[in-house]
Every structure is written in C-alpha cells, then in structure tokens.
Structure 1
C-alpha cells in the first residue's frame, strides 16, 4: 500500500513513529509538508497553503492508494483532488481552536476521520474513529532515576523535587504560567524545594531519560487531544498531575499515584500528594492499551477499509543454512 501524507509538521515524533511502525507492516509513505514555517507566535498564511496545492495535485496523480491528511487545515488541499480516497487525522487544536470550522466543514467529505479522544469526537459532532497516538513501549520504559539524572545532568540538584514540564513555554495552549503558579504554591506546602524543569526541543530518543529522572510530570494545558507526554510518562511509571483535557482522565483512571484536577487548588493538592508519596506509578500497565502496536493495528484497518487494498507484510529474508 502506498500513502501520500500531508502535514503541517513533518517532524512530529508521534506521527513519524506511527508511520515507521506502519512501514514495518508493509505501507510505504511519501510526505509533503505544507510550505512556509510556523512558530509559537506566527502561523502559516493562506498563501503558504495555496503554494502547496499544485504540488499535491501533481503528486496525487502517482497512483497512491490513499491520502492521509494530518491536521484539519490540510484537509481542503487533500480534497482538492477527486480520485484518491482521503483519511483525515485531527490533532486537537484543529477541533478545539479557531481552525475548527475548517475541520468541521471538511470532515464529512473525507472517506474516514480519526480523532484522538472521545472528547474530540463529541466536539466535532460526527461519527469518526477514536485512535490515540501510540506510545513505543520499547523506547519508553522504566529505568533507574539515579542513572537517568546523570544522563540528563540533574545529578547535582540536592533534595529538590524534579517536576517535568515537557513543552515550549511560549505555546499558549500549554499554559506554562499556570504550571509555574501550581509548582510555586505546592513548594510552599512542602519541606523541600521544587525544580520545575522545562524540557523541549531535545532529541526524542532522550525523552525517556527525562521521564525517568523526574519525580512527576505536570500538564496544565487548556486543551489537548491525547497528549503524548502523558502516555510516555505512564510507560516510564512517572506520576502525572494534569488538567482534565482530552483523554487524560481516561488514561489515568487506574494509575496510582497520579492526579487529574480542574482548579489550581486541585492541581496543587495533587502535586503535593504525588511528591510526598515519593513513589513511581503503575502507569506502564495502563499504557499497554495505547501501545504503538495496538494503535497501528487500528490505523491499518482504516487504511484497508478506505482503500480497498489489503496490506501484505514484508517477507522475512530467506536464511541459508
């Protein structure tokens, strides 16, 4: 099976991990990113999307089995060609944010739509597939906190609690000022200081080290789909304190110690409790439900149904004895 991928972020680790797993199952990909650049303070302009349109129309003529459009704003471009079926994956902000009208208008025209949580499906207001991004349980697994702290350079922190905030502070939706407020308030209730560790733009291969080095992960987002940092923390048995966004409450339902709250006071209470307990969580057991192998199975079912093509897994090379 041959798939044309359209994306606003060709470097998204969760998308690339899923594609790599699909390639191991026999799917091949060509990726076309949207023209232009975006940052915390600037977005792509309509001109950037228009500049991408001719490339998509030309590339779509190369006998792909389907087009997988990632993020709602890529959907109009994917639908501009009329021959190849389109699968649309929505990431969260394209359902909860200002681009929702585009996603809502295009979703009924696509052959199938994938969202990351039941909350997103309800917000979109139509039937679609709920498939969270998968977590690689081989890459993300528990390790010695002492060794992990040596690897990330946190081995000289005294007795301070290490609380991980794994996002760029400038991303408004992640609400870093709230994380600072919660950490500061929690510190005043504890007999030890808190180091709020902002970790971003590091190699994805090193993220498990930060998860294992930390005492808790703090997520204060205003909205999410299915935050990968929560699932990655679970896979490393790192306790999570988070706002009630996306599928966080569902993921953490049976995870101890962890905490989901709505108000600052609830988040502070949860963070204090988690840190005082000084325990790793049982999150890895719950993370198996969203392993990358399971989510790939479900995406492959969508691909085969939409394209009418059955994927043949690659044959193992013959061995000569």
Structure 2
C-alpha cells in the first residue's frame, strides 16, 4: 500500500508569536504545532511597520523581528507590511497581500490548502491567494472582535464580504458561528471546533504542595482569576459579589487572587481598586501581576475555584487550563464557554453574562461542596491540542 504524502498547508496569520512576543497568538501556534504531525505547515505572519511604528514607544516590540524564525520546527516568515496606526486600515488589504506575496515569490506557491487564523487583513489576502493557485482557503473565527462590528470604518463590511468567499469557516464557538451566518450565510460551510489544552503543561498536582510553593495559607479559600486587567474580563463582577460570599456565608477567609497586568484594551485597575475600597475588600483581593506561563499550573492547583466572569471571549485558554488541572470553575456563557463546561460532568457552573448574583451563588456552592479534582483532571485531559488538530484536519482534508 502506498503512503499518502502529507498535505502542504500555508498558514497566514496576523496573530502569531515571535521572538519579541512569545505569547502573542500562542493558541495559533499550539494548533499548528499539533497539526504539523500530520501535515507540512509553513507560516507567514506579516508584521505592521511604518516610520510611526519605529518612533512610538508602544510599538517597540515590533522592531528587530527576524524575517524568518523556526518555532517548534515550523518555518515562520515575518515580512513587514505598511500600516498607519489607527488610520486607513482598508489600505492594509493591499500592503498585507504584497508582504505575503513577497514571501511566496521566494519560497514558491506549491501548497494544497490556505489556512487563515484571523479575519482582517487575512481574509482578502487568502481570497487572492486562493484564486492565484486555485486552492481552497478557510478561516478560523477566534472572537467576536474578529467581525469588527464596532469599527467605524470599512473593515466590518470587508470581513462580512470575504467570509462569503471562504471554503470553510472554523468557529471556536456556536455564538460566533451564529453571528457569521447572520452576516455572511456561512452555516453550511461552518464547523465549531474549540481550542485544545496542553496537558503536558497543565495537569493535577496536590493543592497543599502548590500552596506551600507559593507561600499561601493552607486555611484560606482561594478564588482565582487570570487575564488582562480590562473591563471585558469582568473582574469587577467577582469583586462586587465577593462581599456576599464573605458576609452572608461566613467565608471570611476567602481571597480572590487576580493574575494579570494591563492589556491592549487598557488598564482597569484604578476602577477595580475603587470597587475594592467601596466594598472594604482590601484584605480579600490580591493583584499578583503578570505571571509566567510556566507558573500557572501551580496557581491553578493551589486555588479552590476558578472564575471567568468575562463579558466576551473566543475559546478561553485559561478556562481549559484550569479545568485540565482539576480546578472547578464558574464561568459566564460567552464564546465557547458553554461548550467547554458541557463537555464533561461536574466541571462547575456556566452562568449568564454579567449575572453578578448568580456568579456569587455558584462560587459559594463550589467553595462549600467537596470536589474530586483528580478525577476531573483525568476526564478532561482528552481535549488536547492533538485532539483539536485532528478535528480540524478531518474537516479540511
């Protein structure tokens, strides 16, 4: 029997890690790394560039990125494309495509499939390449922001138009799949596949040992939140509800540890501190700051409950990481959260978005009831990035 050659896939993604931003779009790398076991993967990750980018300090992370990196055995090309921060975004349809074309002119166009991981400017570029080499292209929807619905410019119309052209649409959640169909009639071409989790990095550990390692009290009840300090992450909902957890249930030894720093959507810490002072929770809320990815497993296993009170998500990695460690969760029904929380029994509770009362009620329930964390971790560890990669490739090839 002859061995079938691996399919050659060109992945184009505005979101992708590089030497200066090792965690930027890490979820894209994780999926492609898993797919690379079964297909030949090449990545083009254009980097925004202009004289303004070189002068403005907040864009320094875009400087000095090599044209080619090899990341986890995958060749990743980083051509620059002209972009004016905050202006003339529709111009990027042309400059982004030219950057991709420059790479392909050097490495060749011999690919079987075009794999896009963002919508703009990836979609117009993918459509152009699909026509040029007569190969299908598909796109993954990774968050409601991918539709650019709040954009005052043309991007939302461009995205809606080119979604109609995609051969396949992979959505991380039913929520996004419904929105894509509403905008671009994609239902017959759409499959829902959420992100996987790296179970080599996130798994069950003894809680007492993890608390000792982090110098945390063995006696306190710990609620854990992980994410950028921005309004969308909903930390304010947990803080406001924490007063009820402490006063009405006699759980005075409860603490809410927040792991994260300011994000691209701003810094909400001042407002969070106001809520903390208003509810007299200075002793119960702890801002840990940014934590290295390698330390998250210790925090997940040290906590009693994970809370994701987010107002909007795609497929939240922090939730699947926590669940893979055996940590039960209370999470709002945004993005792929409903699918994640329904994938196994006894993972915790999925509550309505911005329902502060229900968040508090379910936190209390999880803090008071026993939970077989080791069994949860065992049950959840099947949802790996390898599982995700196989689901994707089965759909596309």
**In which range does the TM-score fall when normalised by the shorter chain?**
0.7 to 0.9
RMSD, aligned α-carbons: 2.7
2:199 is the alignment partner of 1:107: no
Query: 1:83 pairs with 132, 154, 164, which one?
Result: 132
In the other structure, the counterpart of 2:281 is: none
Note closer, same or farther for the CA distance 1:160–1:33 as it changes in structure 2 (3 Å cut). Answer: farther
Change (3 A) 1:149 1:222: same
Cα 1:234–1:19 change in 2 (3 A) is: same
| Inter-partner Cα distance in structure 1 for 2:247 and 2:157 | 44
Q: 1:147 aligns with which of 209, 214, 238?
A: 209
CA distance in 1 between partners of 2:104 and 2:219 (Å): 57
Distance 1:24 1:204 in 2: 24
Q: Tell me the residue number matched to 1:58.
A: 102
| CA distance 1:286–1:251, change in 2 (3 Å) | farther
- Distance in 2 (alpha carbons) for counterparts of 1:24 and 1:259: 35
1:250–1:207 distance in 2 versus 1, CA, 3 Å: same
8 Å Cα contact 1:162-1:214 kept in structure 2:
yes
In 2, distance between residues paired with 1:131 and 1:175?
25
Task: Give the total of aligned pairs.
Answer: 298
Q: Distance in 1 between matches of 2:381 and 2:333?
A: 21
Partners of 2:255 and 2:147 in 1: how far apart? 33
Aligned to 1:6: 12
Per-residue CA deviation, residues 8-45 of structure 1 (Å, 9 max, x unaligned), is: 33132222111111122242222314415889xxx765
Asked whether the 8 Å contact 1:216–1:239 carries over to 2, the reply is yes
**1:162 paired residue number:** 222
Structure 2 residue 32 is matched with structure 1 residue 19 = yes
> Alpha-carbon deviations, 1:42-61, whole Å to 9, x = none?
x7651666543311122244
Deviations 1:245-275 (A, max 9, x none): 1232232234325112222111100001111
In 2, Cα distance between equivalents of 1:103 and 1:184: 43
In 2, distance between residues paired with 1:186 and 1:180? 10
Unmatched tracts of structure 2, length 5 or more? 1-6, 18-24, 60-84, 261-289
Q: Find the counterpart in structure 2 of residue 287 from structure 1.
A: 380
Greater relative contact order: 1 or 2 (C-alpha under 8 angstroms, separation 6 or more)? 1
Q: Which has the larger radius of gyration?
A: 2
Which is further off, 216-225 or 21-30?
21-30
Cα pair 1:134 1:295 within 8 Å, conserved: yes
**Inter-partner Cα distance in structure 1 for 2:92 and 2:372:** 46
Question: Residue by residue, what CA displacement relative to the aligned partner does 1:187-215 show, whole Å, maximum 9, x if unpaired?
Answer: 33332333222223533333222211211
* Partner of residue 297, structure 1: 390
TM-score by length of 1: 0.82
Using the size of structure 2 for normalisation, the TM-score is 0.67
Residue 287 (structure 1) shift: 2.7
What whole-Å deviation, never above 9, does each CA across 1:230-251 have from its counterpart, x for those lacking one? Answer: 2222211101001111232232
Q: Where does residue 118 of structure 1 map in the other structure? A: 174
Structure 2 Cα separation of the partners of residues 158 and 148 of structure 1? 10
Q: Distance in 1 between matches of 2:323 and 2:218?
A: 26
CA contact (8 A) 1:174 1:219 kept: yes
Give 1:28's aligned residue: 41
- Structure 2 SS opposite 1:113: strand
Separation of aligned partners in 2, 1:18 and 1:213: 28
Separation in 1, partners of 2:199, 2:86: 34
Residue 45 of structure 2: SS of its match in structure 1?
Answer: strand
* Structure 1 residues without counterparts, runs of 5 or longer: 305-321
